[in-house]
Amino acid sequence: MNNFLFGRYLPGNSWVHQMSPQSKLMLSFYFVIVIFFANNLASYAALAALIAIVILLSGVSILFFLKGIRPLIWLIIFTVALQILFSAGGTVLWKWGPFSVTNLSLINGGFIFIRFLLIIMISTVLTLTTTPLAIADGVQTVLKPLKKVKFPVDTLALMLSIALRFVPTLMDEMETILNAQRSRGVDFGSGSLKHRVQAAVPLLVPLFTGAINHAENLSTAMEARGFSDSEHRSKYRIYRWQLKDTVSWLVFLLVGGLVLYLRK
């Protein structure tokens, strides 16, 4: 659970915490798109400055962001290395067989690194300052227009919030099953690939049957409490669009415009 950053909400009362989840979701999405428009140092600098301000406003320690990067570090290094070694063009600095390093590929590699960093930063800000429930709610609000094409938005939101609620429960259960099977002599995580796949069966089958049992009991309990369909319900929590959301959007749109102006 320790490296599991998704859903690791850090309570707080900062500017970013107080924004409504739907606008945070949309802003993150918008920001990722803007990142792909940036293609020179000046535009990346503008985005980095924006992210720095967002992190400061979120009141979350920078350590958490480094933690967020850690599980992805190999993927980042791998991608950046590929980019540096295989892209052509520019003056060749070093060459060995099919591999070559040019000044352009170095710059491109650096940009990809910054891109990764920025995307991870913005998504970490989102998950650290928003409860999973609020994210589910934000998704529901953002997808609301899809109702017009008969897409079951409310049902999807309900499924999402139940799924998020059961993540820790199923994790606990997995731990229990793992230990129970270990105590009966199942060896997880060693031996050949075939052996490992076989060892997963005594973990997966009870986990699945357990999940089905949970589902059956939960649906009975929901029905007993008067649940009939996900559309005709009122809502206990509501996340309203606030002044803070408007101001944030204005700043983000401004920076987006700046990036478009600065790019080559």
Partner 1 sequence: MKDIIQVKNISFNYADQPLLFDNLSLNVHEGEWLALIGQNGSGKSTLARLIDGLNVLKQGQIIVDGLLVNDENILDVRNKIGMVFQNPEDQFVGATVEDDVAFGLENRQVDRKQMHHIVESSLKNVNMWDFRDRIPANLSGGQKQRVAIAGIVALSPQIIILDEATSMLDPRGRQDILNLVREIKAKNHLTVISITHDIDEAAGADRVVVINHGKKIDEDVPDKIFSNTEQLAQIGLDAPYTSQLIAALKRKGVNLNQQYLDSERLIAWIKQLVSNK
Residue ranges in contact with partner 1 by CB under 8 A: 131-133, 136, 161-162, 164-165, 168-169, 172, 213-214, 217-218, 220-228, 232-238
Cβ closest to partner 1, residue 184 vs residue 225: 225
Cβ closest to partner 1, residue 14 vs residue 79: 14
Taking the complex as a whole, the smallest distance from the CB of residue 171 to partner 1 amounts, in Å, to 8
Taking the complex as a whole, the smallest distance from the CB of residue 181 to partner 1 amounts, in Å, to 21
Taking the complex as a whole, the smallest distance from the CB of residue 18 to partner 1 amounts, in Å, to 16
Cβ closest to partner 1, residue 53 vs residue 222: 222
Question: What does the chain look like in DSSP terms, one character per residue?
Answer: -TT--TT------SHHHHS-HHHHHHHHHHHHHHHHH--SHHHHHHHHHHHHHHHHHHT--HHHHHHHHGGGHHHHHHHHHHHHHH---S-EEEEETTEEEEHHHHHHHHHHHHHHHHHHHHHHHHHHHS-HHHHHHHHHHHHGGGGGGT--HHHHHHHHHHHHHHHHHHHHHHHHHHHHHHHTT---S-S-HHHHHHHHHHHHHHHHHHHHHHHHHHHHHHHHTT---SSS---S------HHHHHHHHHHHHHHHHHHHH--
Taking the complex as a whole, the smallest distance from the CB of residue 103 to partner 1 amounts, in Å, to 51
Q: Is-contact 60 10, C-beta < 8 A? A: yes
Q: 6 to each of 47, 51, 76, 125, 158, how far by Cα in Å?
A: 23, 19, 19, 11, 19
Query: What's the token pair of residue 43?
Result: 């535009």
Cβ closest to partner 1, residue 156 vs residue 162: 162
Cβ closest to partner 1, residue 172 vs residue 187: 172
Cβ closest to partner 1, residue 12 vs residue 110: 12
Taking the complex as a whole, the smallest distance from the CB of residue 208 to partner 1 amounts, in Å, to 16
Q: How far apart are CA 59 and CA 76, in angstroms?
A: 26
Cβ closest to partner 1, residue 68 vs residue 132: 132
Taking the complex as a whole, the smallest distance from the CB of residue 138 to partner 1 amounts, in Å, to 13
Taking the complex as a whole, the smallest distance from the CB of residue 240 to partner 1 amounts, in Å, to 12
Cβ closest to partner 1, residue 199 vs residue 211: 211
Taking the complex as a whole, the smallest distance from the CB of residue 1 to partner 1 amounts, in Å, to 10
Closest CA to 49 of 264, 263, 254, 261: 254
